[in-house]
Amino acid sequence: MSEDSFGRTIQLFLVDGKPSGLRKATIHGWTGLIFVSGDSTFGALTARDEVDRTGIYILSGPDPDKAAVTRAYIGSGNSVAERIRQSALKRDFWETAITITTSDDDLSKGHAEYLEARLIEMAGAARRVTLDNGTSPDTTRRRLPEADVANMEQFLANLKIILPVIGLDMLKPQPRAVSDTTTPVDQRTRGEVRFEIRHRSGVQAEAVEEEGEFVVLEGSEALTGTGYVQQSYGGLKQKLIEDGVLTPVAEGKLRFVRAYAFSSPSAAAAVILDRNSNGRTEWKVKGSKQSYHDWQQARAANGEAGA
């Protein structure tokens, strides 16, 4: 069993007993200490003694310029409480504040600056959020001993585990079907089950599931201008058009010029069919009548789910 396949124990403590209040998150055996707050508990966050330490912080919220996109700012400071207060006053987009320090207060300024630079670098590479940072610090601006670099990389590995648990999945790399643009689609999806939508309009789309995400492949088509008013993913579709992922090819039809990872089969089906859709029934295993739902049920019966 590889190290990455071991389980982790994450403790999520509701400081004031409310799920929407101040939260404290830790991983068993790790000194990292994370607090998460909204606007209403921001004062309680910055008043914590554990936050008045050297560390890093993240402010996140809806991107005011792009629908269905998260904007984030990453910073560091000798007193995270002081720095996050200053940063929050300068930014209107944030809804969630996250502070990252340690229980034994053992992060130095150099450690924090290294973590800040690496987080910005990793978030930029993952392309899951819009970064509000104007610059990308150089990880070598404060040279750390080799052992310290290794420790900070392990610190980041734990952050990659715990950040999605508290609601911010900004470090997860894009699926290979999306990121590997130099390899032909048939090669980079070899061995994956293909799913398809074949609509009576002639629109066709193909997708694969990878690392819990539903990836619609380039060359797939999507309807537009159908007139349906209940379109939960209209903002996302507009974003894909603005970003050049979807381009017009004919009246009422768009095409994916590159692969795109959706959060669910239903999100993908809604964008493709231009209406609210149940992706679990709309998507079929390619070349068959088996729905995504039935395919999942068959895998579960065979003990393959999560394999």
98-127 confidence digits (pLDDT tens): 999 999 999 999 999 999 999 999 999 999
Please check whether residues 161 and 180 belong to one and the same domain: no
Please check whether residues 136 and 42 belong to one and the same domain: yes
Is residue 284 in a domain?
Answer: yes
Q: Which range marks the domain in which residue 69 is found?
A: 3-165
Please check whether residues 57 and 154 belong to one and the same domain: yes
How would you classify the pairing of strands 96-102 and 55-62? antiparallel
Q: Which of 137, 165, 193 is the last residue of a domain?
A: 165
Check whether 26 has a pLDDT greater than 80: yes
Number of domains in the chain: 2
Q: What pLDDT was estimated at residue 168?
A: 94
192: closest CA among 177, 205, 174, 182? Answer: 177
57: closest CA among 96, 106, 91, 19? Answer: 96
Is residue 217 in a domain?
Answer: yes
Is residue 80 in a domain?
Answer: yes
Is residue 203 in a domain?
Answer: yes
Q: What is the residue-averaged pLDDT of the chain?
A: 92
Q: Please count the other Cβ atoms lying within 10 Å of the Cβ belonging to residue 200.
A: 5
Please check whether residues 95 and 142 belong to one and the same domain: yes
Is residue 306 in a domain?
Answer: no
The pTM score is 0.84
Is residue 170 in a domain?
Answer: no
Q: Which of 115, 133, 165 is the last residue of a domain?
A: 165
Among left, alpha and beta (phi > 0; psi -120 to 50; other), residue 170 is alpha
Is residue 307 in a domain?
Answer: no
Mean pLDDT value across residues 56-71: 92
Check whether 130 has a pLDDT greater than 60: yes
Please check whether residues 154 and 200 belong to one and the same domain: no
Please check whether residues 151 and 254 belong to one and the same domain: no
Mean pLDDT value across residues 73-95: 97
Please check whether residues 24 and 156 belong to one and the same domain: yes
Is residue 171 in a domain?
Answer: no
Check whether 236 has a pLDDT greater than 90: no
Please check whether residues 161 and 72 belong to one and the same domain: yes
Please check whether residues 278 and 214 belong to one and the same domain: yes
Please check whether residues 97 and 195 belong to one and the same domain: no
Q: How confident is the model at residue 307 (pLDDT cuts 50, 70, 90)?
A: very low
Q: What pLDDT was estimated at residue 33?
A: 97
253: closest CA among 219, 217, 224? Answer: 224
Please check whether residues 42 and 142 belong to one and the same domain: yes
Q: How far is CA 131 from CA 41, 60, 65, 68, 245, in A?
A: 24, 9, 12, 14, 20
Give dist(CA 131, CA 137) in Å, integer: 13
Please check whether residues 193 and 256 belong to one and the same domain: yes
> In this structure, is the dihedral angle defined by the CA atoms of residues 195, 200, 202 and 203, taken in order, positive or negative?
negative
